[in-house]
Amino acid sequence: MKQKAPKAAPLRRNRPIKISKKPTLGPKRAAQPTQVAVEPLQEAWAQDASAYGFDVWQRSVLFLDTLRQRADNMLEHERAGQPPLLDFKYETILDARRFEHPVNYALLRFTEVGEDCWDDCVDPNKPPVVVVDPRAGHGPGIGGFKRESEVGMALHEGHPVYFVIFFPEPAPGQTLADVHHALRRFVQEVAQRHSGTPPILYGNCQAGWAVTLLSADCEGLVGPTVLNGSPLSYWAGESGANPMRVSGGLLGGAWLAHFVADLGDGRFDGAWLAQNFESLQPEKAIWEKYANLFAKVDGERERFLEFERWWNGFYTLSREEIVAIVENLFIGNKLEQGTFRICDGCVADLRRIRNPLVIFASYGDNITPPHQALGWIPAVYKDTEDLKQAGQRIVYLTNPHIGHLGIFVSAKVARFEHRAILESLDEVEALAPGLYEMQIDNPTGNPDCHKPEYAVRFEERKVEDLDIPPQDEAFERVRTVSEANEAFYKTFVSPWVQAAANPWLAASLRWLHPMRTTRYMFSEAFNPWMRGVSILADAVAKNRAPLPQDHPLLEKERDFIGQVSEAVEKAREARDSAYEQTFGLLYGAESSLEPSAPGKS
The pLDDT tens digits of the residues spanning 264-277 come to 999 999 999 999 99
Please count the residues of the chain: 601
Cis previous bond, 452, omega within 30: yes
Residue ranges of domains in the chain: 90-251+324-465
Cβ-contact 133, 207 below 8 angstroms: yes
Host H or E run for residue 347: strand 346-348
Mean pLDDT of 237-253: 84
pLDDT digits (tens, 9 = 90+) for 416-465: 888 899 999 999 999 999 999 999 888 776 767 777 778 899 999 999 98
Report d(CA 557, CA 559) in Å as an integer: 5
SS3 33: coil
Looking at the DSSP bridge assignments, the partners of residue 268 are 317
Q: What is the mean pLDDT of the chain?
A: 87
Calculate what percentage of the chain has a pLDDT beyond 90. Answer: 65
Higher pLDDT pick, 44 / 557: 557
| pLDDT score of 23 | 39
> Topology of domain 90-251+324-465, per CATH?
Rossmann fold (3.40.50)
What are the residues facing 340 on neighbouring strands?
348
Exposed (0-12), middle (13-18) or buried (19+): which is 34, by Cβ within 10 Å?
exposed
Q: CA 144 to CA 493: how far, in whole Å?
A: 42
- Per-residue pLDDT, averaged over 352-373, amounts to 91
Query: DSSP letter string over 421-467?
Result: HHHTHHHHHHSPSEEEEEEEE-TT--TT--TTSSEEEEEEE-GGGS-
220 has a pLDDT exceeding 90: no
Q: Which neighbouring-strand residues pair with 130?
A: 162, 201
Three-state SS for 340? strand
Answer yes or no: are the C-beta atoms of 126 and 157 closer than 8 Å: yes
Tell me how far apart the 2 most distant CA atoms of the chain are, in Å: 116
- Tell me what pLDDT residue 208 has: 92
Element (H, E) at 161: strand 161-166
- Which H helix or E strand runs over 227? strand 225-228
Whole-number Å distance between alpha carbons of 365 and 352: 28
CB contact at 8 A, 139 and 310: yes
CB count within 10 Å of CB 474 equals 20
For residue range 164-188, list pLDDT tens digits in order: 999 999 999 899 999 999 999 999 9
pLDDT of res. 30: 47
Q: Which residues is 202 bridged to in the sheet? A: 131, 226
Pairs from 454-457 (Cβ < 8 Å, separation ≥ 24)? 454/420, 456/420, 456/423, 456/424, 456/427
Mean pLDDT of 347-363: 92
Looking at per-residue pLDDT, the higher value among 521 and 155 belongs to 521
If one compares 318 and 2, the residue with the highest pLDDT of the two is 318
